[in-house]
Amino acid sequence: KQEVTQIPAALSVPEGENLVLNCSFTDSAIYNLQWFRQDPGKGLTSLLLIQSSQREQTSGRLNASLDKSSGRSTLYIAASQPGDSATYLCAVKGVTGGGNKLTFGTGTQLKVEL
Amino acid sequence: EPEVTQTPSHQVTQMGQEVILRCVPISNHLYFYWYRQILGQKVEFLVSFYNNEISEKSEIFDDQFSVERPDGSNFTLKIRSTKLEDSAMYFCASSGERGNYGYTFGSGTRLTVV
């Protein structure tokens, strides 16, 4: 059964810092990995999608890497801003099973302070 | 950008009542999903739906739950007799194809059972 873990659970940084969020998964048989942002009480906004054959994806100040064989992904946020404060979730889409489901981590709650 | 639309955004119901949560997936997507998130917990998979039938479901998705795509645009989740522990945020999602496509999530329906 796929298990997804995210470290740290919470992070508080001053504005302008570069930071790294970590995600690990136990079953490397995946189609892809997706990073989401969730604001309090809100839905899930997709940030980056990395296919299993890719090593990284970039969007603006965000860069996500994937090492499928070791079951790890990192989300790098450059020059953090207060507007980046949110919970960041990683989720993997497994190959096994008929439905293509996502398995989510518990998230990293990020607070960027002025 | 195409969106997944969910209604209502918040629903309060009495224990034992039936509720129907509604979703309009992205029009050219083929896979449809329901996930839920109990407050403070992980986002959990409930069910996936493809080609007018359930393709995978979790242990949570028992006989009290059902899904339907009554027409070409709507996708619904019905809970027949709600329990207090059904209180959660319910997310609908869709994706284009099996495998490499990412998910698009709706903004969620917060269900409160009293």
Nearest CA in chain A to B92: A43
Distances (CA, A) of A91 to A53, A60, B83, B87: 16, 20, 28, 23
Indicate if the pLDDT at residue B70 is higher than 90.
no
Note the pLDDT of residue A46: 93
Indicate if the pLDDT at residue A20 is higher than 70.
yes
At a CB cut-off of 8 Å and minimum separation 6, what does B8 contact? Answer: B22, B109
Residue A64 CB burial class (10 angstroms; 0-12, 13-18, ≥19): buried
Task: Please name the member of A45, A101, A103 whose beta carbon is closest to the beta carbon of B56.
Answer: A101
The overall average pLDDT reported for chain A is 94
Closest C-alpha among A56, A18, A16 to residue A35 = A56
pLDDT in tens, B9-62: 999 999 999 999 999 999 888 899 999 999 989 999 999 999 899 999 999 999
Residue B47: list chain A partners with CB under 8 A.
99
Q: B9 by DSSP, 3-state: which?
A: coil
